[in-house]
Amino acid sequence: MLDTRRIRPDFPILAQQENGQRLVYLDNAATSQKPLRVIDAITHFYSHHNANVHRGAYALAVEATEAYEAARTAIARFVNAWAREGVVFTRGTTESINLVAGSWGRANVKGGDTVVVTAMDHHSNIVPWQILCQEKGATLRMVEITKDGRIDLADFGRALEAKPKIVAFPYVSNSLGTVNPAAQLSKLAHAAGAVTVVDGAQSSPHLRVDVQALDCDFYALSGHKMLGPMGSGALVAKPALLEAMPPYHGGGEMIERVWDDRSSWNKIPHKFEGGTPNVEAAVGLGAAIAYLEQLGMDKVSEHEQELARVAIDRLSQIEGVTIYGPRDHRAGVVPFTYGDIHPHDLATILDKDGVCIRAGHHCTQPLMRRLGVAATARASFYIYNDLDDIDALVTAVRKAGELFGVLAS
C-alpha cells in the first residue's frame, strides 16, 4: 500500500476537522482533494506567468502558452494519447462527451441510426446521446447489466446487431466500481462498424490508462477527480477523427480566416478550443499528473483496491448491510445500503463523526432503477485514505445502526 503518512501532509484540507472530528474524506468519486503542488502551481502561474495564450508576441504570453501546452503534453503522456494534437482541453468529462455528440454525432448520425450506451452509464454519457438521438430521429439502445453489476456481454452483442454508429460506455462505473473490459468492448464495437466513446472520469484517476491499447476512438476525462482543479479535463481522440469533425464552439482562436459570411478553421486541437481557455485549470492538471506519476498509477490502483477489499469485508460483517457491484475487477468505490436507513440519513449521521460519504443516485438513475433502489450510500477511496479511515467508516455505520435500531431488510 502507499505510505499515506507521507502523502497526507501534502493535502492541506486533510489537516482540517469536520464537525470537530478527524476529516475522513470518502467522496473521491465525486471529486478528489488537491495537493499543495497543484494549489502552488496555480498560484505560481498567476504570480509569474499570467497572460492570454496563443496570442501575444511578448515573453509573458509565450510563457503562459508554454505552461498551457506543457499540460497538454502531460495529459497525452499520462493516457498514452495517439498524439498531443489529439488532446482537446475541456471543462471535464461532461463537456468532452457533449463535444463528441455535438460534433461527430451531429455530422454522422442520421434518422434510423442507433447509438448504444449501457445501463451503468453516468447521466453525462446518456443525456448528450439522448439529445442527439431525439434531434436526428435515431434510436438510443441501453445495454443491460448482469446481477453482479457488469455489462451484460450477451446483450452488448445483441445491441451491436443494429450496426450502431456510436458505442459509449464507462471504463469504471462510479456507482458500482466495476472495471469494464474496455479493450474487448471497443474491439467488438469496431467489428460492428461503430465509433467508440469511453467515459474515463473514474478510470483516469485510479488506473494506468493506455488509450492506444484500449483502441477506443474518444476518451473523456475530468481533472478534478484526479487531484486537479475543478473545471479541468480533456477529450483525447484519434487525430484523424478530430481533423474530419466540424467545430463545436465558434469564436476566437478556433479559426484560421474569417470572412464576412464564413470562416476556415484552425488546426486541431485548437479548432475545438474557441475563446480564452481555462489556463489555470490546465496548469493545475499538469501538476496533478506529475504528482500521480511520481506515485505510480499501478501503486495508486493497488492501494485503492486494497482499501475497497477491506471496506467491503468489514461492512459485509454488519447485519443488514448490502454491498452493490462485483466482488472482483472493481475500483475503490464501495456502494452500499443499510437495512431501511435512507442513504441520505446515513450520510448525515456519518458526517457528525467526520466521515464524508455520498448518498443518492450518483447521476445514474437508469442503474438505480435496475438495482431496485432509489439511492445508495457510497464510500470511495483515493491515495490519502488509509485503514484508519475505514475504521472510522465502519464504526460510524455501526453507530448509525444502533441509533436507528436498524432491521435487516
What is the closest distance, in whole angstroms, from the C-beta atom of residue 386 to ligand PMP in the complex?
A: 23
Give the number of other Cβ atoms within 10 Å of residue 253's Cβ.
17
Residues in the interface with ligand PMP (CB under 6 A) total 16
Q: Minimal CA–CA distance to 281: which of 226, 336, 243?
A: 226
Q: How far is the CB of 231 from ligand PMP (least distance, A)?
A: 9
Q: Report d(CA 268, CA 320) in Å as an integer.
A: 54
Backbone angles phi, psi at 120, to 5 degrees: -100, 10
Binds ligand PMP (CB under 6 A): choice among 33, 114, 124, 266: 124
Q: Is 318 helix (H, G, I), strand (E, B) or coil?
A: coil
Choose which of 4, 93, 103, 305 interacts with ligand PMP (CB under 6 A): 93
Q: Round to whole Å and give the CA distance between 236 and 219.
A: 5
N-terminal to C-terminal alpha carbon distance within the chain: 35
Q: How many CB atoms lie within 10 A of CB 195?
A: 24
- Stretch near ligand PMP under the rule CB under 6 A, chosen from 16-24, 88-96, 332-340, 381-389: 88-96
Of 201, 237, 242, 279, the one binding ligand PMP (CB under 6 A) is 201
Q: CB–CB of 235/219 below 8 Å?
A: yes
Q: Which three cell numbers stand for residue 194?
A: 461503430
CA 115 to the chain's CA centroid: 21
360, β-bridge pairs: 376
Least CB distance to ligand PMP at residue 125 (A): 6
- Tell me the closest approach of the beta carbon of residue 47 to ligand PMP, in angstroms: 27
Min. distance of Cβ 230 from ligand PMP in angstroms?
8
Binder of ligand PMP out of 222, 266, 305, 376 (CB under 6 A): 222
- The window from 54-62, 101-109, 120-128, 332-340 that contacts ligand PMP (CB under 6 A) reads 120-128
315: amino acid identity, one letter: L
Q: Does 363 participate in catalysis according to the annotation? A: yes
Does 285 bind ligand PMP (CB under 6 A)? Our answer is no
Selected range binding ligand PMP among 87-95, 292-300, 349-357, 396-404, rule: CB under 6 A: 87-95
* Contact with ligand PMP (CB under 6 A) among 34, 49, 72, 122: 122
CA distances to 107, 135, 256 from 243, in Å: 13, 24, 14
Interface residue list for ligand PMP (CB under 6 A): 29-30, 92-94, 122, 124-125, 170, 174, 199, 201-202, 222, 224, 363
- Catalytic positions are 363
